[in-house]
Amino acid sequence: MCSPSLPALADYRGALLTAVTDVAENSLFAFADASTVDTFDAAATAPMAEGGSEWLRAEVDFKGPIAGRFELVAPAPLARHLCASFAGAEPEEIGEGDLLDFTGELANMMCGTWLTRACRHDAFSLMPPRVDRGQPDLATSDDELSERFYLSIDDAPIRLALHWDRADDQ
């Protein structure tokens, strides 16, 4: 499935869902499932007064036979809950630095597991994750070099995105 030419993003959907499910269940004692753009958008646009939350975005660049960027967008309360589960702590014990580090590591684990499943016989380099806070971009893109995937972990919506580098950029 992996080759230096631009892959069909649909070829990676199953491997990506499996990778996220494995990371959620085996590392975080959480349940992952498919979701929809509508569920994600509704949560992302909910005002804080109505149960809305801050969001975290983590990006991991990868290089190998194919290159690109993996992106995870998740509500901060979910990331805090998962971090606490991972650390064996209570959510209120998780500091800001630990939360941001964990969110980056979560994206790194998901990306690494996905690449291992999708391209079993190829080696990849993953760059250190970048994490920031902010409301997610809800605009759709017609870019054929990227695709978004919508999932939920413990009933909280998340969005994953794959952004491929152009072959002439590698």
Per-domain boundaries in the chain: 9-48+61-135
70, two tokens: 């993996």
Residue closest to 122 by CA, chosen among 42, 64, 55: 64
Q: Which amino acid is at 150?
A: Y
Distances from the Cα of 50 to the Cαs of 5, 46, 134, in angstroms?
46, 6, 17
Q: Which amino acid is at 112?
A: G
**pLDDT of res. 7:** 52
Integer Cα distance of 56 and 35 in angstroms = 18
Integer Cα distance of 46 and 53 in angstroms = 8
Report H helices in the chain.
13-28, 37-45, 76-87, 96-118
Predicted confidence pLDDT, tens digits, the chain (170 residues): 565 454 555 567 788 889 999 999 999 989 999 899 999 999 988 876 565 679 999 999 999 988 999 999 999 999 999 999 999 999 999 999 999 999 999 999 999 999 988 887 889 999 999 999 988 887 766 666 788 899 999 999 999 999 888 654 44
167, two tokens: 């072959």
Contacts of 77 (CB under 8 A, 6+ apart): 53, 91, 156
**pLDDT of res. 117:** 84
Integer Cα distance of 43 and 62 in angstroms = 29
Residue identified by tokens 């959907």 is 13
